[in-house]
Every structure is written in C-alpha cells, then in structure tokens.
Structure 1
Amino acid sequence: MLPFIVAGLTIGSVFALAAVGLVLTYKTSGIFNFAHGALASAAAFGFYWLRDLHGVSWPLAAALVVLVGAPLVGLLLARIADLLAGASLAMKVVAMVGVLLAVQGGLQLLFPPGESRQVASFLPSDSFELFGTPVTVAQLITFAVGVLATAGLTVFLRRSRTGLAMRAVVDDTELLDSMGVAPQRVRRTAWIIGSMMAGASGVLLAPLLPLDATSITFLVVTAFGAAAIGGFSSLPLTYAGGLAIGVGQSLLQKYFVDATGIAGGLASSLPFLVLFGLLVFAPRVRRPSAAEFLRRATRPAWTAPSSVRLAGALVLLGVLVAVPSFGADQMLAWTRFLAYVVLFLALGLLVRTSGQVSLAHVSFMAIGVAAFSHLAVDQGWSWPAALLAAAAIAAPIGALLAVPAIRFPGLYLALATLGFGIALQQMFYAQDFMFGAGAGLTVPRPELAGVSFEGDTGFYYFTLAVTAIVALLVVGITRSRLGRLLRAMSDSPTGLAASGASVNVSRVLVFCLSASIGAVAGVLDGAAQTLVGGDQYQPILSLQLFAVLMIAVGGVPWYAVMAAFGMVVAPAYISTDPSVTYAFMLLFGCSAIAFAVMPPDAGTAPMWLRPLVDRLAVRWPSRRRPPAIPTAAPAPLPAAAAAGGTGLRVEDLTVRFGGLVAVDGVTLDARPGTITGLIGPNGAGKSTVFGACSGLVNRSGGQVLLDDRLLSRFGPAVRARRGLGRTFQQMELFDSGTVRDNVALGCEAGFAGFNPLAHLIASRRQRRLVRQRTDEALAMCGLGELADRQVASLATGQRRMVELARCAAGRYEILLLDEPSSGLDKVETERFGRILTEIVEQRGVGILLVEHDMSLITSICDEVHVLDFGTKIAAGSVGEVVASAAVQAAYLGHSSDAFGPQPEGTRS
C-alpha cells in the first residue's frame, strides 16, 4: 500500500498546488477561474516546446514558463477581472469559460491532437527507500515544491503587508482603498501568484503523462475538488484536500485496477464525486465577497414588435423548408443544426430565462441518445415511445442536479454541473447501459404510420417538425406563469420568495424540463448520424455550448437558431478538417471574453435600427385595458384577515450571528388596519427583525406569529402566502420586467406557491384576479402611465413605488416596509405617506414600518417601537415615544425637535 500512498502524495501535491492558486484568486477577486486547468495545460506545452523541441535546458525552460509566461497571463486575467467588476455571476463564468476555450482551441491548433508527445523526465531519477518502499528524488522534489509553495504563501498572506492586503480586500475593499492600498494592485498580485502556481503544476505534470490539451485541462480540474474541501477559502485545508484526493485516487487504482464496471472509473471521478458530495451534503460554504452578487445593469428591454417577429419566424421557416433544395450536399449538418436548436432551447430555458448556470448539457444529450438506443434497438420499443421514455429518464437526473441549485445557487451550481458531466463520462459512458466499450450505439430513424423517414431529406423534415414543436413549447413556457416566475427568479430569488412562490420548486421544474428537452435533442442528433459513441459527448462541449449560448443575440427562439448555426452549419461549410473545429473553439472563447466585458447595451439592437424596425410593424388593436380606479370593494384578503385576524406578533425574538447578539428579546405587535413604526439608530437590529419575521434570517430564540399561528418553522414563501408581505431596504425588484409584470407577480406568485402544477398552469379565475389586483395597485400608487416601462429604467422614487405596488397587489394581511422612503425627496415622501394610509384604509392591512424619516413616522404611525443595540427601549404612541428620556438619549440626542412638529393625536 505504501508505494501507492507515495505516488498519491506526489500527484496530489501537484493538484494541491494548482488548487491553492485557484483559491487565492477566488478569495481576492470573487471570480472562479474555470480556465485554471487550461493554464496548466498551456504551461506543460510551453515547457515541452522550449525543452523538447528547441533544446532549452529544463531549469531555464521552467523559469521562462513559470516566472515569465505565467505572470504575463496573470496580468491579462487580472485585467479581465477588473473589467468584470460589478458583473453578474453568469458574465464572470462565461468570461472564464471563454478563457478556457481560447487557450484550448489555441493549443489544439498549435499542437493538433493525435500525435504522440511525451516530455522526458527532467528531475533526478535517483531513489532511496522509505520503510522498504522505493521513493525517487523526483517524487520528493515534487512533493516538496507543493509543501513549500503552500507554506510560503500562507506565511506571506499572514505576515507581509501585501499578504495582509490580499486578505483585507475580500472583507472591505473601500476601507483598504481609503488606507492608500489600491485593491486593483492587490488583486493583480493574487492573479500573478495564482497563474504561477497553475504554471508550476503544469510543468510538474508534463513528464507524468502523454501531452494532450484536453486531458491535462480536466486533470487539473481535480483542483476543484480540493478547493471544495478547503471551503474555497482555507489554503492549508485546500492543500490537504489535494493530497487526500491524490492518495484516494492512487488507492482506488490499486484496489480496482482490473475493474471494468462503474468501480473502474472511481479513481478518475473521485475529485468530482467529492465536489458534488460536499455541495449536496456539506454545510453552506462561506462566500468570498459581496462583489460576487453585484448585478450588471440590466440590458435594455427593447424587442422588435410582435408582427415583425412573426414575419421573421415565417421567413425563417420558409428558408428551413427550402434547405434540401440548396443544401443537399450538407443535409447531415442541417439536420444536426436543427437538433442543436432544440439543445440550445433547452439550455436557454435554464440559463437565459431562469438565470442559472449549467455546464453539463451535453450529458443530457448522451443520456437521451443512450436510453433511446437501448429501448428502440435492444427492447424493440416504438420510436415515439422510446423518445418519450428517454426524455422521462433525463428528468429525474435533472432534478438531482437541482439539489446543488437549491443549496448553493450560482457558482457552486456551475461547479456541480461540470463535475457531474465529467464523472458521468468517466464512470458511466463505457458501461453497457450507456455506450459500452464497442464501436458505438445504433440510433434508428423513425417510421410512423407507414411513412419511413430513413432518407436524409425525410428525416430532415421530421426533425424540422419536432424542432418547431419544441420551439413553440419553449415559447409557450416563457410566456406562461412558469416563464414569468423564472424571469423573476433570475432577477431576484429573494423578491420572488417574499412574494409567495417557492423558488426551489421553480428551480427543480426548469431543471427537469431542460434535461428532458436536452435528451430529445440528443436523440435527434444521434438519429441524424445513425451511429454514436461516448467520444462525441465530451464535457468540454458543454462549456462551448454555454459560451455560444451566452454570446448569441435575440430572444427565444432566435438565440438558439444563431447559436446552432455557429456551432454546426458554419464550420461544415468551411471545411471538415478538425483544425476548423479548433479555430471555432478559439473564436468562441475570444467572443465570450469580449461579450462578458462589453457594456450592458452592446449586445442589443442599435438605436438607429429600432425606429426602422418599429415602422415595419403592423399595429393591432390594443386589448390591454388601462389601470382601473380602485373600487370600494377591492379583491379579497386572505381568509384570516377577512375574519378580523390579530395580525403579526413577535415574542421575545433573539437573533445571533456567531457571538454577536443582533436582536435581544424583542416583543412587538403589528395589527391589521394600523401603521406601526419601528425605529432606532443604524445597527439597532430593525432589518434583522424584519428578516426573522419573513424567514430570511434564522432566529436564535423567540417566536413569530400571524393571527396566533406560529410562522417560525416556515420559509419566506409560506409566510408570504400566509399573509406576510414585505419590501426591502435594498430593493428586490425584477429588473428585466415591466412595472406591470412586477406588480402582477405580487399576486400571482402566491397562487404558484409550492404546487408544481400551479407553477405551470393558471386558472381563469386566478388570471382575472391577478389582472384586477394589478390594475388596482397600479392606479392606487399612481403608476398607470409607467405600467409598460422596464423597471430598470425607472428613477429611485418610482422603483420604491413599484415595490410598494407589488405588495399592494398581493393578498397580504401585514406589510413589512423596510425604509421605503430611502432615496425619496420631501415631496415624494409626503405622497408616499398618503398612499400608505390609503392602502391601510382601503385594504384593511397592517403595516410595520422601518423608517429613518421621522416626519413620515410622526405623520402616519399609530404606534412606535424603538430599538437600540438590538433591545427594545420604548413603545407607545408617537407622543409617548417622543417624551421618553431613553429614546431621546439613544436616538434623538436629547432633542425631541428631531421628530419635527408633533401631531396632536394619532393618525385619523
């Protein structure tokens, strides 16, 4: 066993070295470098080119690669990272995936795959015995390099001024900047060090295996598992994780060296099984910085008029119908193009509509075509039955991938899907129930109702029909309730949950739908080729699919058409030489980088073109009614409110964050038909109370009740459906939608709830009620003229009003309003106060109001509670609170004048 442990420590040290550099750049920039393995691959080839092809001595070659080339690459990546500051997670991922594709494509153009390349061993080959086991000096040096580099970097981070600045840049960039240390310089240094570690790992790996760009890239992706063990934060734990994975792989190879089943792929899949397991079962990983969650400004929402889009679709359909007349020599490419349109529609539903990142969609193609072939060929199922079964088999696998999406949305989901794709290839592709070890799988073409589609032209038209059906299905989904929920989830999962919809149900649904449609695409693509093997479904293709989808312009289904054309048809018409594929990979990678760093409006139609397109439109009579004037009998409240509920009660609420007590034994009430103020200095715990009431913050003690029913064990969506609505200090609007869309979801999200069927289908009564309450809320808040404006284009005061209208449209009993007048001027604040009183009087709801504008508090509140350092220090009417000496000392600075003119009594 000891020889395998020694070998595992050696290779594990290389993985650990790469992982430490990966974690360092992630900690300091908030950008996860998916191209880290590609950098190591480039370093290995660079070392090979210098030493083996041009005779440069190995010390000089290693120095040129690690100390010169890698820092230059680090500077380039640091520049890209600077341009991505404030970008969305999807933009950061697509940029790093673009770097990976560009490096990969460039390497394959320079060093075409297929040739046998091997770097001669350059470290000393002498050996010695350790407990009777021979250990080479090369192994010892490799292990020592990893240990010393990690130890040195750890000391550097803890002792040096630059190292301390690297740690500080994660926690408070502005404070670091105010102290005269430029955050950009600190991050630049981190990228240089991280790139040097990737380069060193590539040089050390070079003599250990045949040179192949894809193999080394995904071998170094093993570092992702080590980074997960280190919590994507701790360098020593990351290094230990790399060693553990290396030893684990070596021991698995020892015990399963002759295994031919799933166990035979355990060793190579171990890092990804570790990664996926940690993301599914481990406690939540600490996020590195708030920068990861900043959103890029929403792209302008101009779209071509519906009549123009319909005409364009008919023209496109006509062109596709005519393809056999002008593209007969490329029928395979055109048929595969249609299959890829289906695939991009599936991926777009997940990525572009719901805002989730998936890097495993080629895996669903593989699952679909393998399942179909076994059912149709081996079991003799009919073509339609086998197709539907393949789609059904992919759905629960999609649900499995949704688990990380529920626990760790965003980056960690991208890592989980990438790990899933690699593990599927290494463990399952060679199994008999997938592709097996033979020449591949036969995929038959259909024969339906006596009509055979065996011919290329016939099958092309069959695929066109299926593609049209899928396109209509996806368009229908995007315009349905589920589509509205998915777009809202993409913009603000918190806002959607606080409106009453279960975000987790939406995530699972879209994963299942996307996986099933991806499986259908796999069947169509496989039938076009008639014979397929696992080599056609490499995980790197998933990365390329994601990048191409992101850079394609237009809405559904146009982005799918453009992406599929670029992936399949364009290369086929240029040449069938593999170098064309590599060149397109390089092109797609560079385009993805450029797209990610472009201004938000760069990918939209030019301003000069929009009026021209608009003039082409056919004007249909508008069927949309103007917002209704609020009636005296508005749509009904929840049953509890209608029956005269007791409202919200918070009893002895305590919230702790680690050793800090943010809220300490607070008790308060908010009754229907009244406005209750909650005031206190900054940091007093007001927003924390709101978070605990709405289920977004875990309480440490106490209870939250609505109408004497405990809410404490429910999440935000259930509490919203029970009658608890809220706004946020940092507004949680659905920026890609219109004002009407945002307000309508205040009511519609509650109907969706936790029921998957209700996410898909809305009853006629529900649609009528949503329209009614939306019109009422728009009119009540004075938003009728803005109803069709995109929310992202509104001023702060208007956006605040939209968030209030969304609450007014909902069927809530109590509204929690968190600093709703923030950013408003005096006139806007006075108008806002009048609207709040109208909502209470007309709807009978209660309002709990956190506010710093004391003139607003004194003019509309019936009762006020005061917090200081998480403890309630006063409660009562406005006059009683103003007269409290404790309040004046803690909040008003001994001056009751801060309240402004005092009312004679409470709000009438």
Structure 2
Amino acid sequence: MNSYLPFVILGLTSGSIYGMAALGLVLTNKTSGLFNFAHGALAATGAYFFYWLYVTNGWPWWLAVLVVVGVLGPILGVGMELLARRLATAGTVFKVVGTIGIILVVQGLATIKYPAGSVTVPQFLPTRTFEVFGAAVSWAQVITVAVGVAAAILLYLFLRRTVTGKAMRGVVDDAELLALTGRNPATVRRIAWMIGTVLALLAGVLIAPNISLDAVVLTYLIVQAFGAAAIGAFASLPVAYLGGCVIGIVAALVTKWASFDAVLAGFPSALPFYVLFAVLLVLPRRKLVSEGAERAQLRVPWRAPPGVRIVAALGLSALLVLLPWIVGYDIASYTNGLIQVMLLLSLGLLVRTSGQVSLAHMAFAAVGAVSFSQLTVDHGWPWLLALLAAGLVAVPVGALLAVPASRLSGLYLALATFGFGVAVEYMVYPLGWMFTTDPLGRLMPYPSFAQDDRSYYYVVLGVVVLTAVIVVVLTETRLGRLGRGMADSPVAIATSGLDLRVTRVLVFCISAFFASVAGALLGVLLTTATAESYPSFQSLVLLAVLALAPFGAPWYAFVAAAGVAIVPIYFTSADATNWLNVAFGGFAVLVAVQGGAPGTPPAVQRFFERFAFRRPAASAAPAGEQPEPVTPRGVHPAAAGDPALEISGLTVRHGGLIAVDNLTLRAPMGRITGLIGPNGAGKTTTFNACTGLVRPAAGRIRLHGRDVTDRGPAVRGRLGLGRTFQHIELGDSLTVQQNVGLGREAAIGGANPLWQLLSRPADRVQIATATRRALALCGLEHLADRLAGELSTGDRRLVELARCLAGRFDVLLLDEPSAGLDRAERARFARLLREINEVRGDAILLVEHDMSLVMELCDYIYVLDFGELIFEGTPEQVRDSPVVQAAYLGTDAAPALPRALPVEADHG
C-alpha cells in the first residue's frame, strides 16, 4: 500500500486542479449555454501572466497571484461573457470556432513570446515535506488540494445561500422569469463567467510549476477538466470536482503501472478523453440536448452560374498544371497545399454538407499514413494500390467514430470527436504498430513513377482533382441533398423516412477515406511519418479555417488551403506559423460572432449572373403526363372510415410529469380528425409520440393496423406517416423546391446506404413530378427557387405542407398549420385541406388553435386537458359540451360555447 500512496497523493494534487477547472467550466456552461473549448487557453493565459509578473518582473508570488486571479480573471471573464452573448444565437460550428479562435490566439502569442519548453515556473508554494504513512507530502501539495476543496465548497454554498447564486441557478431554468424578478440575466451570467474564468486562471497558476511552459501542452492539461465535467454530466459541480480528483488519482496510478508496460505509457494523458468519450456514449440522450435548436450548418454561400464555375475551374486547373514551372524549388510547399485541400474537402463533407462537427480529422490522416507505410514498406504492395487500401483502412475507424454521431449532435458530437482524437494521439500514436518507437517514424516511399518533387506534385494534383470532382458530385446529388436537409432540420428529414444513422455513418466513412488518403500523401511528401506530423491540435485549426473560407465546394478548400500552406512560404520569420495562428484565431472569433463570413457582394453577384442561362419555368407539366396515384406505393387503397392511425392507452412522461395520460383515439382514412385543448394539454406531445420522437411510457400506436410503437421515426415515415411541426422544421439553406422534394426523396433513400448514394433516373422523374404537383397544389410555384429561410411564416407553413404532399404519406399529422396565416390565407388553406381530403382520401389529424377552422373542417374532434381525454364527438357536440367549456374558460359554469374558441398555440 505504501508504494501506491505517493502516486495517490500526486494524483490527488493534480486532480484537485482539474476538478477546480471543471467547476468553472460547468458553471459557465450551465449559465450561458456555451461550452468553452478555450477554458484551457484561459488557464494558459493565467500561467504565462503569472510567470511574467513573478519571474520576469520579480513580483512577490502572492501579489502576482492576486493580480492574476483578482484583476486579470474578472477582466477576461467580462470579455468571455460578451463573446458568449454574441454567440448565443450562433450555430454549433461557430460556437465551437469562436472559442477555438481564442485557443489559436493564446497559443500563437504565447509561443512567440516564450518558445515551447524554454521557460519554467519555479515552485512558489512552500516545499517543506512531512510524512503520512511513510509517504512524503509537501506543503505545496496540501495547499493545492486545500484550495481546490475550498473552491468547490465555497462555490456550492454561494449558489445555494446567496441571492446572486440563486439567481445563477434561476437563469439556467428560466431567464425570462428571472428578469421579471428584477434581476438582469446578463449581469448574472457575467458574474458566472468572472467566477469561471478566475477558477481557470487559478488552475493554470497552480499547475504551471509542474511543467515547462508550453501553450498547447498546458491547454490540453487543463482541458482534462472536460473529462471531469463529463463525469458530472456537465451539470453537477460537486460531482465534477470529485471527477477531477478521480481522474488525477487513476492517471497517477497508471503512471506507476506504465513503468512495467509500455502500452500504458500514454494512458494517463489519454484517460480524461477516454472518460469524456465514454460518458457521452452512456449519458441519457435527454441530458445531451442543448437548449434551442442546434444548427451546425454554415451560412449558405452564393453560387455563381454554372458557366462561370466551369470557366473558373478550367482557369484554376491550367494554373495548377503550370505551377511547377512558375514556383520552382517551392513546389513541395504547394504540394502540401494540395494535400491540405484534400483534408479540407473531406472535412467539408462533414461540416458543410451534413452539419456534423468533427474534431478528430487528423486521426484519420494518421491512420492513412501508417497503413500506407505498412503496406508498401512491410508488405511490398504497389504504390497506388497501397494508397487506395490506406483510405479503406480508415473507413471502419470512421464508422466507429460515427457511433456517437448516431446519438449526439452539435456541441456534444464535437466534444466526443475531440476526446477521440486526443486519446488516439496520446495512447495510440506511440505504439510500435502505429508510428513505431523509432524517433524517425515510418518510411513513406515515393512512387516509382514519380521520384522527384515535380513529378510527385502532379501525382498529388491528380488525386486532389479526382477528390474534388467526387466531393462536388456527392454534394450536388442525393447524398448532398439529404446531408443538407439533415444539417438544417434532422427531425423533419427523419420523420420523412430517412434513417439518419445510416446517413451519418456513410458521410463519416467517406470523409475518413479521403482524409486517410491525404494523410498518406502528406507522409510521402515528408518521406517519413511521425506523430508530430499529425497532431490532434491541427484538427481544431482545420475547422477554424474551414469556417472562415468563402464559397461552396470545392472552392472553399482551395481558398482555405492557400492560407494554411501557401502564405507561410513567403514569410521567412521563424514565428510565421505562430503569427498565422494568431491571425486565424482572431478572424475566427470575428466571423463566429457575425454568424459566418461576409457573403459575396451583391454587385459581384449581379455581374456574374449576367452570364447565366435562364431556364424555362419548372412548374409546367410535361405534355401527356399521367395522373399520379393518390395512395402511397406499397399501401393498398383503404376504404374511407377504415382506421389509418390508432392510439390506445398512450401515456407519455417527462421526468415526473405526465404529459399524456391513457389517451385513445382513431384517425380514419378519408376524414379530418381534430385534436384540440388548452395550452400544455399534450397535443404536440401526442404527435411526437405518434412519429416516434418521444418514447411512450405505456400504450400502443398502430399505423394501418401495424404496431409501430417500438419503431423509429424513419420507419413510420416510410409506412406513410407524415407531419408538420408547431415550430416550423425546414431546411433553411435549401430552396423551396429542394425542401418539398425531400418529402419524397428521404423515403427513397431510407435505410439503404446504396440508395442514399445513388439516384436512379426513375427516382429523379418521380421526385420531380411529385414536387411539381405539390408546389402547384399549395400555390408555391413562384417561390420554387427561393431559399426557405427567406420566406414569411405563412409561406413556410405551406412549404411544410407541400413537403408532406410530395411524400408517400397517407396519414398526415398537421400541428397548427394555419399559425402565421392571415384571414385570406386561412380561407385558402381551408379550401386546400378540403381538396386534399376529398381528392387524395388521406387521414388527417389536425391540431389547430383556430376553432372556427376546426369546426368547419373536422368530422370528429378529441379534446385534451392536462394530458387527459376529456371529451370526444362531432363538432356540434364539442361546441355544446359543458366539459369542454370548463376546460377552455377555466370555470365550472357552462355558458354557450362560441363557434371560435380563444385557444392559443399549444406548448405541450
């Protein structure tokens, strides 16, 4: 036992620092909704500033600590709160990129001032020791642990005993309600950020004497607080602190065991990231949903007309072909630039096309380099065959990383991939079968047909051009449309019939393949592949640069690669890369708070659009077109009145609250059935249960007699169940025509990866026909080429309905479809629903707050109140029911019920 005690003491000391950092991370995340990837950078700032005061300027250590913690901490906290406020409405990509920008700025400036490993902070706390059960304990260790424990206790008491602390807890639950009490939510969040930043800086100061000052290493050390925060489910402060202590102790014990087993050498550093990855896999999904809709998709860039793009592509191709004769000896740097293009294109498939934030891209590149070396050097494979195989080796790695993608999104997917990438770097890179134990790394041979730099440039150019063509094709065809729809509105596209798990795995695998090939090409350029050539930190840089780049595929990759690889060629300073990181970081923060890079100026757009060929109107139907059957393919026509949707004994709970209680209803074919009730009655919850978005606690749901209670949203969509949403779910970056077409195309893609990739001619005709008819039926032909995000609320409602009509749905759940429509639009909408009901014979279940519309359209009505069915009957029976009157008017009296009941939007 005595042999382990010194490691436990060391681990408790470092773990207390991690736990303290985790306290600040959890506090700021809970109060602002922004997970601060730059938390470690703040700690590094504190450590460097302390060194400057204490060592460089000779201040007393206690005064230096006081200034860092008491002055610099609150100032940086105010700045972070301002940044968090500006990022509050930004998409996930920009929330991540904004904080990554701070990392790049701090890392760059710190390395310029103090090159990595060049300075150390002497231990400033008392170093005298005493023995505990035979193990030496220093007063510095005791003080460090005591500070961490005190911080955890004081913060816990502050949040529960003080007015400001209680306000911090309140701002998490309901900021608007807190504002009604006279407390300014922004002020409360500012105080939380000040406290969180002070804790980060204090953690940096305390850990600095244990390491040489290195901005990246120090950032990653404090980022180990991510694992501690994960143990606390990103919510519990005490558990997060204890989690930090546990991580520190376990890592220290493994350090002892690693002296006997080289395989464990990297485990102590990787442990927090394994913890982070594992916790994100096992936490209930309800704990991994951020407030508000998370949009990972970048702002939609303007696209030049096809002719302009073709001319630009030919011009760029000619320049790249002639480049070796222009740049001479610098050609190797331009080859590196092409490889960066390939990395950015592969990452763009994830981030720009499908809205998945990945921070593990360099891990794929490393796998490709190692696989290529093993195949060519160790097994003698032909060069091109080994390159292809190296890409294929990374495909199952991409599929493995896509596992969390199937249940995570936005911020938590970024965290999971970040943890995966860092853990691979610390734990896997040093192993013999990876980059070997030889400091020179793995040999990466040039191809026999290209033995000099110029010839190899053309090999890389050929691979990159092929990659660019494939990426553009994927982006413009079915997978690209499905991916953009998934990025903008995963709920809508899933309920339309697309299995999102398959799509996510597919995109991750394709992205991993191209990144792996790029990694192999990079290793060949360097002649040897080492761990230093594939740092996980570079994944953060790639994401930041990708977010800054303008234009669409593949142009964004060429622009971004020029900044990453070409610009440094012409800066001979030893700090050129660091200054570029500072520039990238600063621009990343600016672009993030603006919600994206500035678009192409309108004057430029108008100039190039003069060269566009105008297409004839797409709404005209081809001559001789035959009417399309009104029933979905694979579903036999149902007689009017036959039950299409049956709900029996449905109960839905949210925590301890019963949202729907023992509900039974039927929606027959050929009829419009109403579902009404006051606010919070459970109407939307019922729809969510019907479409598989929430899991019922009890009851059964049948669709055309088939039990679908345990089936997912996509399966139900493919069986004919379509819906609109109370809060409109559209792909805002897609045109109206593309949104409507996804109602049919999502179900065709379904759960088959082959059909998600390929589009048959017959499918294209079917989708175009269904889209055109749905647009015409809803009167949207004139808006077909407009982006959905530019439309009015009323038009967006109609686009949602048109998407349902274009799909193979014969059971429609319409959730307040007339909300946002004026009187004339509602009258038109009523006529449209009657036409749909009469011509198509669909079963329609309607939730609507306009009671005159309900009474006019519905054949039968169910009334909910507090999740219970309180009445059902014809419109006349509902209008005359005293029970319904009491529910709506809040009284036991039963005056005559008006024809239009004053019911507002349901938030249940």
Normalised to the residue count of structure 1, the TM-score between the two structures is 0.96
Whole-angstrom CA distance in 2 between matches of 1:892 and 1:138: 68
2:635 equivalent in structure 1 = 640
Report the secondary structure of 1:639's partner residue.
coil
Whole-angstrom CA distance in 2 between matches of 1:428 and 1:515: 17
Whole-angstrom CA distance in 2 between matches of 1:761 and 1:408: 26
1:608 equivalent in structure 2 = 603
1:78 equivalent in structure 2 = 81
1:158 equivalent in structure 2 = 160
1:56 equivalent in structure 2 = 59
Report the secondary structure of 1:678's partner residue.
strand
Q: CA deviation at 1:841?
A: 1.7
Maintained 8 Å contact 1:43/1:65: yes
Within 5 A, what are the aligned runs for 1:390-401? 390-401=390-401
Q: Identify the range of structure 1 (20-29 vs 873-882) with the bigger mean alpha-carbon deviation.
A: 873-882
Q: CA deviation at 1:599?
A: 5.3
Gaps of 5+ in 2: 902-908
Q: CA deviation at 1:892?
A: 5.1
Q: CA deviation at 1:508?
A: 0.6
Whole-angstrom CA distance in 1 between matches of 2:638 and 2:885: 39
Within 5 A, what are the aligned runs for 1:333-732? 333-438=333-438, 439-447=440-448, 452-575=449-572, 577-598=573-594, 603-615=598-610, 617-619=611-613, 622=616, 624=618, 626=620, 633-634=628-629, 636-644=631-639, 646-732=643-729
Whole-angstrom CA distance in 2 between matches of 1:517 and 1:647: 46
Whole-angstrom CA distance in 2 between matches of 1:207 and 1:288: 38
1:904 equivalent in structure 2 = none
Q: CA deviation at 1:85?
A: 2.1
Q: CA deviation at 1:277?
A: 1.1
Choose the corresponding residue for 2:18, options 15, 19, 42: 15
Maintained 8 Å contact 1:674/1:862: yes
Q: Name the amino acid aligned to 2:446.
A: R
Q: Identify the range of structure 1 (580-589 vs 378-387) with the bigger mean alpha-carbon deviation.
A: 378-387
Inter-CA distance 49–74: structure 2 relative to 1 (3 Å threshold): same
Whole-angstrom CA distance in 2 between matches of 1:196 and 1:646: 62
Within 5 A, what are the aligned runs for 1:732-743? 732-743=729-740
Inter-CA distance 840–301: structure 2 relative to 1 (3 Å threshold): farther
2:257 equivalent in structure 1 = 255
Whole-angstrom CA distance in 1 between matches of 2:53 and 2:773: 73
CA displacement, residues 518-538 of structure 1 (integer Å, 9 cap, x when unaligned): 001111222222222111111
Inter-CA distance 160–872: structure 2 relative to 1 (3 Å threshold): same
Maintained 8 Å contact 1:883/1:896: yes
Q: CA deviation at 1:811?
A: 0.5
Q: Identify the range of structure 1 (634-643 vs 501-510) with the bigger mean alpha-carbon deviation.
A: 634-643
2:104 equivalent in structure 1 = 101
Maintained 8 Å contact 1:627/1:779: no
Q: CA deviation at 1:145?
A: 0.2
2:833 equivalent in structure 1 = 836
Whole-angstrom CA distance in 1 between matches of 2:898 and 2:540: 58
Report the secondary structure of 1:650's partner residue.
strand
Q: Name the amino acid aligned to 1:189.
A: I
Report the secondary structure of 1:303's partner residue.
coil
Whole-angstrom CA distance in 2 between matches of 1:622 and 1:453: 49
Maintained 8 Å contact 1:628/1:775: no
Q: Name the amino acid aligned to 2:521.
A: L
Whole-angstrom CA distance in 1 between matches of 2:162 and 2:199: 19
2:49 equivalent in structure 1 = 46
Inter-CA distance 208–599: structure 2 relative to 1 (3 Å threshold): closer
Q: Name the amino acid aligned to 1:75.
A: V
Q: CA deviation at 1:282?
A: 3.3
Matched, 1:172 2:174: yes
Report the secondary structure of 1:849's partner residue.
strand
Whole-angstrom CA distance in 2 between matches of 1:834 and 1:19: 58
Maintained 8 Å contact 2:879/2:897: no
Inter-CA distance 81–104: structure 2 relative to 1 (3 Å threshold): same
Inter-CA distance 285–647: structure 2 relative to 1 (3 Å threshold): closer
Inter-CA distance 627–147: structure 2 relative to 1 (3 Å threshold): farther
Q: Identify the range of structure 1 (732-741 vs 202-211) with the bigger mean alpha-carbon deviation.
A: 202-211
Inter-CA distance 359–740: structure 2 relative to 1 (3 Å threshold): same
Q: CA deviation at 1:897?
A: 4.5
Report the secondary structure of 1:555's partner residue.
coil
Within 5 A, what are the aligned runs for 1:879-894? 879-891=876-888, 894=894
Whole-angstrom CA distance in 1 between matches of 2:527 and 2:420: 26
Whole-angstrom CA distance in 2 between matches of 1:284 and 1:41: 33
Q: CA deviation at 1:721?
A: 0.6
Q: CA deviation at 1:129?
A: 2.2
Q: Name the amino acid aligned to 2:395.
A: A
Whole-angstrom CA distance in 1 between matches of 2:846 and 2:622: 27
Report the secondary structure of 1:124's partner residue.
coil
Maintained 8 Å contact 2:359/2:421: yes
Matched, 1:120 2:116: no
Q: CA deviation at 1:621?
A: 5.3
1:148 equivalent in structure 2 = 150
Choose the corresponding residue for 1:197, options 183, 199, 214: 199
Q: CA deviation at 1:13?
A: 0.2
Q: CA deviation at 1:620?
A: 6.1
Whole-angstrom CA distance in 2 between matches of 1:868 and 1:521: 59
Whole-angstrom CA distance in 2 between matches of 1:720 and 1:840: 19
Inter-CA distance 580–298: structure 2 relative to 1 (3 Å threshold): closer
Q: CA deviation at 1:565?
A: 0.7
Report the secondary structure of 2:150's partner residue.
helix
Maintained 8 Å contact 1:892/1:898: no
Q: CA deviation at 1:641?
A: 4.5
Inter-CA distance 394–790: structure 2 relative to 1 (3 Å threshold): same
Maintained 8 Å contact 1:441/1:532: yes
Report the secondary structure of 2:675's partner residue.
strand
CA displacement, residues 137-184 of structure 1 (integer Å, 9 cap, x when unaligned): 111100000000011011101111111111111111111122221111
Whole-angstrom CA distance in 1 between matches of 2:380 and 2:616: 53
1:243 equivalent in structure 2 = 245
Q: CA deviation at 1:505?
A: 0.8
Inter-CA distance 407–199: structure 2 relative to 1 (3 Å threshold): same
Q: CA deviation at 1:631?
A: 7.0
Q: Name the amino acid aligned to 1:133.
A: A
Whole-angstrom CA distance in 1 between matches of 2:747 and 2:583: 45
Q: CA deviation at 1:882?
A: 1.2
1:748 equivalent in structure 2 = 745
Choose the corresponding residue for 1:824, options 821, 824, 828: 821
Whole-angstrom CA distance in 2 between matches of 1:2 and 1:284: 38
Whole-angstrom CA distance in 2 between matches of 1:188 and 1:620: 53
Q: CA deviation at 1:634?
A: 3.6
Q: CA deviation at 1:49?
A: 1.4
Maintained 8 Å contact 1:638/1:812: no
CA displacement, residues 594-621 of structure 1 (integer Å, 9 cap, x when unaligned): 0001155x52111222211212x14265
Q: Identify the range of structure 1 (881-890 vs 559-568) with the bigger mean alpha-carbon deviation.
A: 881-890
1:905 equivalent in structure 2 = none
Maintained 8 Å contact 2:297/2:352: no
Whole-angstrom CA distance in 2 between matches of 1:126 and 1:833: 84
Q: Name the amino acid aligned to 2:146.
A: A
Gaps of 5+ in 1: 902-908
Q: Name the amino acid aligned to 1:124.
A: P
Report the secondary structure of 1:735's partner residue.
coil
Maintained 8 Å contact 2:93/2:297: no
Maintained 8 Å contact 2:40/2:219: yes
1:279 equivalent in structure 2 = 280
Maintained 8 Å contact 2:94/2:595: no
Number of residue pairs matched by the alignment: 891
Q: Name the amino acid aligned to 2:337.
A: F
Normalised to the residue count of structure 2, the TM-score between the two structures is 0.96
Report the secondary structure of 1:647's partner residue.
strand
1:330 equivalent in structure 2 = 330
CA RMSD of aligned residues (A): 1.8
Q: Identify the range of structure 1 (95-104 vs 46-55) with the bigger mean alpha-carbon deviation.
A: 46-55
Inter-CA distance 300–8: structure 2 relative to 1 (3 Å threshold): closer
